[in-house]
Structure 1
Amino acid sequence: MGASPWNVSDELWERIEPLLPCKQRRFRYPGRKPVPDRKVFCGILYVLHTGIQWEYLPAEMGFGSGMTCWRRLRDWNEAGVWQRLHEVLLAELNAASRLDWARCVVDSSHVRALKGGIHTGPSPVDRGRAGSKHHMITDGHGTPLTVILTGGNRNDVTQLLPLLDAIPPVRGRVGRPRRKPDPLFADRGYDHDIYREMVRARRILPVIARRGTPHGSGLGIYRWVVERTFAWLHGFRRLRVRWERRADIHEAFLRLACCLIAHWQLSSLC
């Protein structure tokens, strides 16, 4: 029987631990000994995978309290841990020639936001209920390059340029870090000539299906990878529905899930 997905591997932890912020030790009033970071990270993974509420996190598994895990997730996200981890993993994939810049794909997916909060809005695909959108660009293998959270009523095309600008500089190869694809594939939701010109101005070729044309544009042989990545993303139960009122906590889970997908892609090379 395989290990539980919330039991972090040594390989992954060796990449995460150097990125965690150092805590200053209190000598006069040290208080209780803090729960080790690795145990807390396992608790965060448990919530991400199972979707359980923080207060029901099982104490007998040694994760610490739900509030302890919540605070560390918040603090690590504010310190940019998940962003830097994502860049580390992308650099390793790039060094192994495992990033396909020749057919990057953009798309979005809607999730219901049951408690409202920032970056929610009436969803046109869910009878006007409050929802959020996950906007993402992947490479040709389905590895997430960047992800953005917006309200459910935000038009997809409005996030096209912010997504392109959010792709981090990817190292791992000789020369300058890379941060833009060659072509970018998209569905009809991104069919606006003004945005096409803006994408071309960034020296990226927009390959976007046009409205009013028969279905069967042939782009499906390239675009299916982003849909598969969204299926992986929403395989984490905490991301199927947005439970957090605070956008930064949901974004932290979103970025962490992208890191885990990138790590899976890297592990598949071994």
Structure 2
Amino acid sequence: MVARREISDEVWAVMEPLMPTASGRSRPWSDHRLAVEGMAWKYRTGAPWRDVPERFGKWNSIYKRFARWSEDGTWEKLLAEVQKQADAAGKVDWVVSIDSTIARVHQHGATLKRDEGALSNHRDPWIEPPDHAIGRSRGGLTTKLHLVADGRGRPLGMVITGGNVNDTTMMTAVLEDICVPRAGKGRPRTRPERVLADKGYPSKANRAWLRARGIAATIPERDDQIAHRRRKPGRPIDFGHQQQERYKGRNVVERCFNRLKQWRGIAMRSDKLARNYRAGISLATTLIWIKTEVISLPSGW
């Protein structure tokens, strides 16, 4: 029986030139494709690392390579390179949507000691946060994925937190995670044209932050905010017919979550380390970008 390939030849033709070389190592890497396919198999099925089939190589070697790349930022660089080429080809829709989704933490992923309530460093996603991005909410121990997607439902930026973290407080951190490098000279692009968000994000602080950066917003008000303004008159938020039509496009972020959670290792977190969980999401995200675009990438980065 022929085993199904986790990564097609067309997708690997894009990824292969971007994979790390053996520079500085005493021994060369073994086949990158088999290792990456083993990683994709693990997160797609949600199986333990020890159950990765032998056809991909030794499970321990695959895990060590995956963990090394999550710690040194390799997965972030790979994703940024793919996004850069898509932007250079004009294939990124900069009317973005933001939302969050919850993932239950498997008992195998909650065995490390956590410093609950400690502040996480969202600017360096490969640095492990003190709480390992695990929080206790109504669903038990959970992790929350805060994500911003472009207008075609591809992830542009994300932040991993405990499941008890409020969406509103994370809006600026998620948008600041957008960093798409330029193909030529120039600073990376970090600002979208417009942000679409639901009623979980309409705080005054968020609107002021967007306004100060020249980013248009399509965010409806909550009923309690409308009632408060009626008691204490103020300038109403423009959410007329044109804004309502724009708001219909917000569902792309929901479709993005649906696509990511087809990978069972993302739908339920079994990783002990938050940076490894984010690396698994970055791997799935990179494949989404490649599969939705025909991108010609240069050799190396």
Please list every run of 5 or more consecutive structure 2 residues that lacks an aligned counterpart in the other structure: 113-131, 227-240, 297-301
Whole-Å separation in 1 of the counterparts to 2:180 and 2:10: 26
Deviation of 1:176 (Å): 5.0
Deviation of 1:21 (Å): 4.8
Q: Which moved more, 1:42-51 or 1:112-121?
A: 112-121
The aligned counterpart of 1:233 is 260
Whole-Å separation in 2 of the counterparts to 1:85 and 1:6: 18
Change (3 A) 1:256 1:25: closer
Are the equivalent residues in 2 in contact too, given 1:94–1:173 (CA < 8 A)?
Answer: no
The aligned counterpart of 2:125 is none
Are the equivalent residues in 2 in contact too, given 1:76–1:82 (CA < 8 A)?
Answer: yes
Change (3 A) 1:170 1:25: closer
Q: 1:136 is matched by which residue type in structure 2?
A: L
Whole-Å separation in 2 of the counterparts to 1:3 and 1:64: 14
Pairing of 1:18-29 with structure 2 (within 5 A): 18-26=18-26
Deviation of 1:174 (Å): 8.2
Are the equivalent residues in 1 in contact too, given 2:75–2:282 (CA < 8 A)?
Answer: yes
Whole-Å separation in 1 of the counterparts to 2:66 and 2:17: 14
Deviation of 1:166 (Å): 1.0
The aligned counterpart of 2:4 is 4
Which residue among 42, 48, 55 is the counterpart of 2:43?
48
Are the equivalent residues in 1 in contact too, given 2:7–2:37 (CA < 8 A)?
Answer: yes
The aligned counterpart of 1:202 is 213
Change (3 A) 1:5 1:261: farther
Q: Give the alignment's TM-score, normalised by structure 1.
A: 0.85
Q: Deviation per CA, 1:68-100: give whole Å up to 9, x if none.
A: 111111111222221111111112211222111
Q: Deviation per CA, 1:119-169: give whole Å up to 9, x if none.
A: 111123x2xx00000110111111110111100000011111111111113
The aligned counterpart of 2:119 is none
Deviation of 1:170 (Å): 3.3
Change (3 A) 1:76 1:25: closer
Which residue among 159, 168, 171 is the counterpart of 2:179?
168
Q: Which moved more, 1:147-156 or 1:49-58?
A: 49-58
Are the equivalent residues in 2 in contact too, given 1:168–1:179 (CA < 8 A)?
Answer: yes
Relative CO higher for 1 or 2, CA cutoff 8 Å, sep ≥ 6?
Answer: 2
The aligned counterpart of 1:183 is 194
Q: Which moved more, 1:81-90 or 1:34-43?
A: 34-43
Q: 1:204 is matched by which residue type in structure 2?
A: I
Q: Deviation per CA, 1:18-48: give whole Å up to 9, x if none.
A: 441525454xxx7xx8632221111111112
Are the equivalent residues in 2 in contact too, given 1:19–1:84 (CA < 8 A)?
Answer: no
Change (3 A) 1:167 1:259: same
Are the equivalent residues in 2 in contact too, given 1:6–1:49 (CA < 8 A)?
Answer: no
Give SS of 1:188's match.
coil
Give SS of 1:137's match.
strand
Q: 1:257 is matched by which residue type in structure 2?
A: A
Q: 2:134 is matched by which residue type in structure 1?
A: T
Q: Give the alignment's TM-score, normalised by structure 2.
A: 0.77
Q: Determine if the alignment matches structure 1 residue 111 to structure 2 residue 103.
A: yes
Change (3 A) 1:41 1:201: same
Are the equivalent residues in 2 in contact too, given 1:136–1:163 (CA < 8 A)?
Answer: yes
The aligned counterpart of 1:85 is 78
Deviation of 1:188 (Å): 0.5
Change (3 A) 1:173 1:137: farther
Whole-Å separation in 2 of the counterparts to 1:195 and 1:67: 44
Alignment size in residue pairs: 256
Are the equivalent residues in 1 in contact too, given 2:11–2:291 (CA < 8 A)?
Answer: no
Q: 2:150 is matched by which residue type in structure 1?
A: D
Q: 2:35 is matched by which residue type in structure 1?
A: V
The aligned counterpart of 1:15 is 15
Q: Which moved more, 1:41-50 or 1:217-226?
A: 217-226
Percentage of identical aligned residues: 29
Deviation of 1:8 (Å): 4.7
Please list every run of 5 or more consecutive structure 1 residues that lacks an aligned counterpart in the other structure: none
Whole-Å separation in 1 of the counterparts to 2:254 and 2:264: 17
Give SS of 2:101's match.
strand
